[in-house]
Homo-oligomer: A and B are copies of this chain.
């Protein structure tokens, strides 16, 4: 739930299932968000394999928020909000940017090796492949948000 305060900024209410990490925009600190999400997912009972998937997806989303969303600005923040409702583990990664202009195509390794395509461009592909559901360019009070979901049912 979001409400707008008198000053026009948004105040986010955090509920009893929601945990938030607020990070400086510093390459390498995505590990902290990753370890924090993994810790939460472990407590609520996900199996190690799915936790590994989650860790990679969270790290990639944070890297994108830092590099593309916040354009490397050292005074910007990345906010990672996570929630488990008993069925669905969802992680939202927020940055202060405008969102993704165009969703990239899946990487083509042959083209990359032949140098017909840049070696980068793997993050969003991995996030989509590893998570059960992904939403891009959601509007949040912080700016742009990527939301990803892991379902408990899929053998934890």
Contacts and interface: CB of A to CB of B under 8 A. Distances in A.
A122 to B, nearest CB: 23
Interface stretch (A37-45, A85-93, A97-105, A136-144): A37-45
Q: Which of A6, A15, A19, A40 has the most CB of B within 10 A?
A: A19
A31 B7 CA distance: 36
Assign chain A's interface to a size class.
Answer: 20 to 34
A28 B75 CA distance: 33
10 contacts: A6-B6, A14-B77, A17-B24, A20-B22, A21-B22, A31-B39, A32-B40, A35-B38, A35-B39, A36-B39
Given A14-B24, A19-B22, A32-B39, 4 more contacts: A16-B25, A19-B29, A20-B21, A31-B43
